[in-house]
Amino acid sequence: MYIGIDCGTQGTKVIVLDSQQKKVIGVGYASHQIIENSDGRREQQPQWWTAALVEAFQQAIKLAQIEPHLIKGIGVSGQQHGLVMLDNNDLPLYNAKLWCDTETAPENAEFIQLLGGQEKAFSQLGIMPQTGYTASKILWFRKHYPEQYRRIAKIMLPHDYLNYWLTGHFCMEYGDASGTGYFDVVQRQWHLEAFKLLAPELDPHQVLPPLRSAQQKIGQVRAEIAALLGLSENVIVSTGGGDNMMGAIGTGNIQQGIVTMSLGTSGTLYAYTDKPLLDLPIEIANFCSSTDGWLPLVCVMNMTSANKNLMDLLQIDVAKFNELIQQSPIGAEGITILPFFNGERVPPLPQAKAGILGLDAANFTQPNLCRAMMEAASFTLRYGLDLFRQAGLSTSQIRLIGGGAKSAVWRQMIADIMNTEVVCLKEDEAAALGGAIQAMWSNGEGELADLCHAFVHLDATSRVQPNPKSAVEYEKVYARYVEKLKQYY
């Protein structure tokens, strides 16, 4: 038995994977709170994650009807870019600022200037630092909390914090490190000069974790945690990785030619390459993968969260939302929504606000608003897919994951807007599954490609082909969206 953990923005999921039956036999979930304000602050307390992990683990074990001592390994997936800072007593010095935090937009702009501007920043790091990456958060903390800043002993990301809690080992793998903003994604090493621009008073050799290859184990579960969870003391923990990197493993996206699209709180689009791509558009983050390759990725910040804002306003559930969408034609009778409730990363509009355009007395209906919102969220990913196609990345099939993938209406919309075949996975929790598979890989249970072939299964019943007529109509509606985007931002 292997455990996969996915610590996301909304909550923590835990799955139990049976390596003999080759399927998930138990799932648990516990939610997180979030600290937020209208200035873009998005924070959580790290202890919320560990409490959620314990609760979700106990649920999963109970559902699986197994004894915890049968567990052989654990792999952790975590929301990327979050900043966790510990003092010498391993206590958090501040809340964890999250990937979706845009309060540090001024610091990100300052950091890019310190690097010499966008072109020099991109050439040094192989990636363009974005608001939401870890780097600007450090600069922000240095400015606003100088006393606590001087007490920093360890800097890590959310999944590393859980690994540290589990094992006591302070380290990080290349994939998640790619999203810090002070990591060279081509050479796979910390960019010490960039880090010194952010934190000249800190010793990077002390506060930054040693880097590990994705296939390595980082250690065994601490005796204290083993006793808490009922595990044996020889349970191994793999390096884990960011949620997108683990999602790539959990969708079998470990070879060139496959594209994964996630319809979660945020939206992501990524594909595997065995070499770092050169001359990419700067909006594409050329991350390392958690399989010792690379994972070019586009992330947008308003996906199911945008839909949820409207559902909350209208006081309707997901089923009603999907029903209303089907009562509205493609293009929502002229309504265009720019869904930037949390700012946006691609296109780079961290301080943008949302807008609803084209309203009149005839089209101002609930069905049109619902369709326009789902179309808008989809168009932000279409914008990213166009960047992929410009870079020469293949999109013959999109593997769709995340909560939004459960909607048949949305699956067809994605296929039509992207004009590409769409298929989902039988296992909903791709990131947690990726964590469990990586743990098996690091524990010598087989080659990664063989493990993905055995445990990652496409759901043939979900396969959707684009409707040619709808695809043509969406091209016109998407062009209208892009025109409004350029006009208002």
Task: Determine the Cα–Cα distance for residues 212 and 64; give it in Å rounded to an integer.
Answer: 32
What are residue 294's DSSP bridge partners? 273, 288
Place of tokens 């991350």: 287
Any known ligand binding at 80? yes
Task: Determine the Cα–Cα distance for residues 189 and 210; give it in Å rounded to an integer.
Answer: 10
Task: Determine the Cα–Cα distance for residues 318 and 325; give it in Å rounded to an integer.
Answer: 11
- Tell me the DSSP string of 104-147: THHHHHHHHHHTTSHHHHHHHHSS---BTBHHHHHHHHHHH-HH
- Residue pair 332/293 in contact by the 8 Å Cβ criterion: no
Task: Catalytic residue, from 6, 101, 160, 243: name it.
Answer: 243
* Residue 6: closest CA among 305, 175, 296, 245: 245
Active site residue 243: yes
DSSP, res 392:
T
- Residue pair 321/311 in contact by the 8 Å Cβ criterion: yes
Q: What are phi and psi of 301, to 5 degrees?
A: -100, -5
Place of tokens 């909903």: 428
Place of tokens 């020469």: 392
Cis peptide bond N-terminal to 347, omega within 30: yes
* Residue 74: closest CA among 208, 178, 229, 210: 229
Distance of CA 83 to the CA centre of its chain: 15
Task: Determine the Cα–Cα distance for residues 394 and 231; give it in Å rounded to an integer.
Answer: 43
Longest dimension (CA), the chain: 67
Place of tokens 């947008």: 300
Any known ligand binding at 159? no
Task: Determine the Cα–Cα distance for residues 476 and 483; give it in Å rounded to an integer.
Answer: 11
Structure tokens at 205: 């050799």
Beta strands in 141-274 (DSSP E): 154-156, 172-173, 183-184, 189-190, 211-212, 217-220, 236-238, 241-242, 259-263, 267-271
At residue 145's C-alpha, the angle toward residues 141 and 148, to 5°, is 100
Distance of CA 313 to the CA centre of its chain: 26
- First-to-final CA distance of the chain: 51
In degrees to the nearest 10, what's the CA dihedral of 54, 56, 62, 68?
-40
- Residue pair 209/171 in contact by the 8 Å Cβ criterion: yes
Residues in the chain: 489
Binding residues for substrate: 80-81
Catalytic residue annotation = 243
